[in-house]
Amino acid sequence: MTRPRTTVIALAAGLLAAAGSFVVLSPADAASTLGSAAAAKGRYFGTAVAAYKLSDSVYSGILNREFTSVTPENEMKWDATEPTQGSFNYSSADTIVNRAITNGQKVRGHALAWHSQQPGWAQNLSGTALRNAMVNHVTQVATHYRGKIDSWDVVNEAFADGGNGARRDSNLQRTGNDWIEVAFRTARAADSTAKLCYNDYNTDGQNAKSNAVYAMVQDFKARGVPIDCVGFQSHFNSASPLPSDYQANLQRFANLGVDVQITELDIEGSGTAQANSYAAVVRACLAVTRCNGITVWGIRDTDSWRASGTPLLFDGSGNPKAAYSATLTALGATTDPSTSPPTSPSTSPSASPSTSPSTPSGSGCTASVSVNAWTGGFVATVKVTAGATRLSGWTVGLTLPSGSAVSNTWSATASGTTGAVSFTNVAYNGAVNPAATTEFGFQGTGTAPSTTPTCTAR
């Protein structure tokens, strides 16, 4: 498929031969990863991450390239963070969180209070002792991560399956029906910056369980219990397929005044059927203004808790599946085979047509920026091209217009958010072969930058 032509703005004309170029792309042309395509729609695209897989370069390469949010898959759960009562261990979760922040990715915290994956000591508590232990746990963990979490799953899976809309029986539930609101008030007191979510499964369509969650959120809103978002896990398979009223269900919750997030998406299957379901989920989220992010529950099929159902967007070798292309297309990006994601993360050939700067020469590097802008915001994709010498690191300098600010950066580290900002490579994309390219991106508020970027080899 031919890539649509791009427009070179006038100011760049005289500068093309100099350090870089500045190109405005049509919206459909601007995004070539899940994260950048979602960002162009004002949303994040995240994945569950397991700390022990981060040393796998295929895994971390895809993670850095494609995703703008991460959820620790198990590392923030009660058994992991408080294995002994009053003794907290954040090492694995901190690894994920700090790495995400370095890479400009948001973090979804998962989960503060849940009937499952409790440490043995908590499983053996009841009554006031358990209530107090829960309050202390929520306080300690939310305080430790204050300022680093975009959204917390404060309470997970507290409603029963089946037709009566009841609360799930659990040791936490038996401490009193108010345990959920106590958890939310406690989380807010510890961290006033994170969005506080209720998260559950089998609530993806309108049914007795989602009706009960809906009533709880409505009640919380009416009584001033702090709740900001509802997570819809969206684990789909042939026994539990994508409901036809998925979008309507997201919308009715959004209408209560909360954000809605798709938090653990996976869809068992393969080929076109699977791809179509992924696209339908994305379209539903994009159609609901307050659906502000999608998280898939793992990267490669082999990373999934349901690996045999091949439910994710990348195959076991890290190659994008049909479901990946469908997701990207539904997010509004074009999938151009010449720029389809590499299986290894670092660099791509310089033949990519869209933003090519002048023929690289000398020992430095050049940078070009393509922008997808809307009223009040923009996403910038920056291409770094090596000169005649292999780069071992690079820094791109850009000046933002007055009143504009960088809100999110991926595949680079930004020195600041306003004015003259330097973007430096992250660990995996500093090395660029002669005349080869690598990309990074950032999202901003205000007007997009219109000056030519500088590029310095390091």
Task: Supply the minimum distance, in Å, between the C-beta of residue 199 and ligand 9MR.
Answer: 7
# residues near ligand 9MR by CB under 6 A: 9
Q: Which residues contact 351 (CB under 8 A, 6 or more apart)?
A: 338
Segment 155-174, which members bind ligand 9MR (CB under 6 A)?
156
Segment 292-331, which members bind ligand 9MR (CB under 6 A)?
305
Q: Which residue is nearest to ligand 9MR (CB)?
A: 305
The residue from 66, 73, 75, 264 that is catalytic is 264
Q: Which residues contact 269 (CB under 8 A, 6 or more apart)?
A: 237, 238, 277, 309, 310, 311
Task: Supply the minimum distance, in Å, between the C-beta of residue 69 and ligand 9MR.
Answer: 16
Chain-centroid distance, C-alpha 272? 24
Q: How far apart are CA 124 and CA 142, in angstroms?
A: 23
Instruction: Identify whether 73 is a catalytic site residue.
Output: no
- With CB under 6 A as the contact rule, the residue among 117, 340, 418, 422 that binds ligand 9MR is 117
Q: Which is nearer to ligand 9MR, 74 or 95 (CB)?
A: 74
- Residues 31 and 316: beta-carbon distance below 8 Å: no
Task: Supply the minimum distance, in Å, between the C-beta of residue 264 and ligand 9MR.
Answer: 5
- With CB under 6 A as the contact rule, the residue among 29, 75, 191, 264 that binds ligand 9MR is 264
Instruction: Identify whether 439 is a catalytic site residue.
Output: no
DSSP run (H or E) holding 410 = strand 405-410
Q: How far apart are CA 320 and CA 20, in angstroms?
A: 31
Task: Supply the minimum distance, in Å, between the C-beta of residue 373 and ligand 9MR.
Answer: 37
With binding defined as CB under 6 A, does residue 73 bind ligand 9MR?
Answer: yes
Go through 19-36 and write b for each residue having 16 or more CB atoms within 10 A of its CB, e for each that does not: bbbbbbbeeebbbbbbbb
Rg of the Cα atoms in the chain = 23
Q: Which is nearer to ligand 9MR, 118 or 438 (CB)?
A: 118
Q: Which is nearer to ligand 9MR, 111 or 187 (CB)?
A: 111
Q: Which is nearer to ligand 9MR, 74 or 206 (CB)?
A: 74
Residue 36 dihedral angles phi and psi, to the nearest 5°: -75, -35
Task: Supply the minimum distance, in Å, between the C-beta of residue 233 and ligand 9MR.
Answer: 5
Q: Which is nearer to ligand 9MR, 61 or 231 (CB)?
A: 231
Q: Which is nearer to ligand 9MR, 157 or 439 (CB)?
A: 157
The residue from 157, 181, 268, 439 that is catalytic is 157
Q: Which residues contact 255 (CB under 8 A, 6 or more apart)?
A: none
Q: If you search the block for the tokens 């958010």, which residue do you land on?
A: 417
Q: Which of 170, 90, 166 has the alpha carbon at shortest distance from 123?
A: 170
The Cβ-side half-sphere exposure at 334, using a 13 Å CA radius, reads: 16
Segment 204-243, which members bind ligand 9MR (CB under 6 A)?
233
- With CB under 6 A as the contact rule, the residue among 3, 26, 42, 74 that binds ligand 9MR is 74
Which residues carry out catalysis? 157, 264
Contacts with ligand 9MR by CB under 6 A lie at: 73-74, 116-117, 156, 201, 233, 264, 305
